[in-house]
């Protein structure tokens, strides 16, 4: 179980990247950036906790159904 009060929700963090991937309708691809998004090397070797945060961000956005409108 994830303690939602301790999730790294900063721009570029695992939760943020999961929610962004869902928002743009991209497939799940757990990753994060050490700085803000695009700042630094894309990190794909995540800890189990970081993967859980990424998936939670993805799932939260899927539940909210907040997706990019391309029209």
Q: In angstroms, rounded to a whole number, what is the distance separating the alpha carbons of residues 13 and 50?
A: 9
What pLDDT is stored for residue 2 in this prediction?
Answer: 82
Domain presence at residue 71 = no
- 57 in a structural domain: yes
Q: Is 31 helix (H, G, I), strand (E, B) or coil?
A: coil
Asked whether residue 69 is assigned to any structural domain, the reply reads no
Q: Is 51 among the domain residues?
A: yes
Asked whether the predicted pLDDT for residue 8 surpasses 90, the reply is no
Report the candidate in 24, 18, 23, 22 with the shortest Cα–Cα distance to residue 32. 18
Q: Considering its fold, how many domains does the chain have in total?
A: 1
Question: Which residue range(s) make up the domain with 56?
Answer: 4-64
Task: Let me know if residue 55 belongs to a domain.
Answer: yes
Closest by CA to 41, choosing from 7, 16, 12, is: 12
Looking at the domain assignment, is residue 44 inside a domain? yes
What are 24-69's pLDDT values in tens digits? 999 999 999 998 888 899 999 999 999 999 999 999 999 999 999 9
Alpha-carbon distance of 36 to 24, in angstroms, equals 18
> What is the pTM (predicted TM-score) of this model?
0.92
DSSP 44: -
């Amino acid at each position: 179980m994830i303690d939602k009060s301790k999730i790294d929700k900063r721009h570029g963090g695992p939760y943020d990247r999961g929610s962004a991937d869902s928002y743009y309708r991209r497939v799940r691809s757990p990753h994060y950036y050490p700085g803000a998004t695009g700042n630094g090397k894309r990190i794909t070797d995540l800890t189990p906790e970081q993967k859980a945060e990424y998936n939670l961000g993805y799932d939260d956005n899927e539940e909210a159904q907040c997706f990019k409108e391309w029209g």
